[in-house]
Amino acid sequence: MIAARPRPARWTADAVWPVAAALVAFAIVWQLVVLVGRLPAFILPGPAEVAARFVGAWTDGTMWPHTLTTVSEVVLGFAAGSVAGVVVGYGLARSGLLARLASPYLVAAQAVPILAIAPLLSLWFGTGLLAKVVVCGLIVFFPVAVATMVGVREVDPGLLEVARSLRAARRRILVDVELPAALPVLFGGLRVGVTLAVVGAIVGEWAGPDQGLGVLINLARGSLFDTPLLFATLLTIALLGIVCYGLVVLAERRLVGLR
């Protein structure tokens, strides 16, 4: 009845060395492209140059404030988008009427490029934190809502019947059966959502003039002409994405991995 779940990968020495080797190979190829193509640093800086700029930007205090701003947007936006996504997704799963009424709007909203409405949102919500959290939340909302809807719809009706035969209250059915049963699928949505949260924060910062890694990209490219800093910022964003994703996977293993 319950299929055996493959063990999650562990970071043992055996698992780490291929990853490290791939990383080194990637850097070598990158360096070769720069060398063979005789590319100047403002077109494509080499890995060593980017690494040096990355360390430099972190030690001279350039990166910190921008990263903190972006991280707070990601955290708040992801939280808001996920909570809204779970609530709406549950409603969609349990009410056919709501699903029929709301689905076209949800899909349409998702199809509209967030890049196009981000400037509008900063017009509505100001240039501060709120506008960026809204952009971030909007982009997180959809995958989480869809995953929640699918997860809740797929809950074993047999378990719901047991709950009913035990006269479980609506709230207990939600907490004891529906949410735990939907959790593996829900986490699929959260994994997608958290990486999109980083994208959402950067997109939100694009239009705003104050702080954040998206702002730093624009600065490095547009006014400082510092392509290595641009790449160092991209590297920071990528690392931020990996850390956020890792945290979600960690939470998933704690909550779902036990079954």
Partner 1 sequence: MSVPPILAAREVRVSFGSTVALDGLSFEARRAEVVALIGPNGCGKSTFLRIAAGLLRPDDGEVIVDGATVAGPDPRIGLVFQEPRLLPWRSVADNVTWPLELAGWDRPRRDARLRELIALVGLEGAERVRPSQLSGGMRQRAALARTLALGPEVLLLDEPFSALDALTRERLNLELLRLHADTGTTIVVVTHSIPEAILLADRVVVLTPRPGRVAAEIPIDAPRPRSLERFDAAVVSDAAAEIRRHLELGEAVA
For position 1 contacting partner 1 by CB under 8 A, the verdict is yes
Task: State the minimum distance, in angstroms, from the CB of residue 147 to partner 1.
Answer: 18
User: 91 or 180, CB closer to partner 1?
Assistant: 180
Binding part of the chain for partner 1, among 129-137, 165-173, 186-194, 208-216 by CB under 8 A, reads 165-173
Residues 6+ apart with CB under 8 A from 248: 187, 190, 191, 194
Q: Which of residues 3-62 bind partner 1 (CB under 8 A)?
A: 4
3-state helix, strand, coil in the chain (%, to 5): 80, 0, 20
For position 156 contacting partner 1 by CB under 8 A, the verdict is yes
C-alpha torsion 18→24→26→31, nearest 10: -170
User: What Å distances lie between residue 3 and 153, 258, 259, CA to CA?
Assistant: 20, 13, 10
For position 253 contacting partner 1 by CB under 8 A, the verdict is no
Residues 6+ apart with CB under 8 A from 3: none
Options 84, 98, 176, 188; binder of partner 1; rule CB under 8 A: 176
User: 180 or 188, CB closer to partner 1?
Assistant: 180
User: 4 or 36, CB closer to partner 1?
Assistant: 4
Is residue 82 within 8 A of residue 140, CB to CB? The reply is yes
For position 84 contacting partner 1 by CB under 8 A, the verdict is no
For position 164 contacting partner 1 by CB under 8 A, the verdict is yes
For position 166 contacting partner 1 by CB under 8 A, the verdict is yes
Residues 6+ apart with CB under 8 A from 162: none
For position 188 contacting partner 1 by CB under 8 A, the verdict is no
CA pair distance 170, 202, nearest whole angstrom: 40
Task: State the minimum distance, in angstroms, from the CB of residue 150 to partner 1.
Answer: 18
For residue 251, what are its two tokens?
């939470």
Residues near partner 1 (CB under 8 A): 1-2, 4, 156, 158-159, 161-162, 164-169, 172, 176-177, 180-181, 183, 256, 258-259
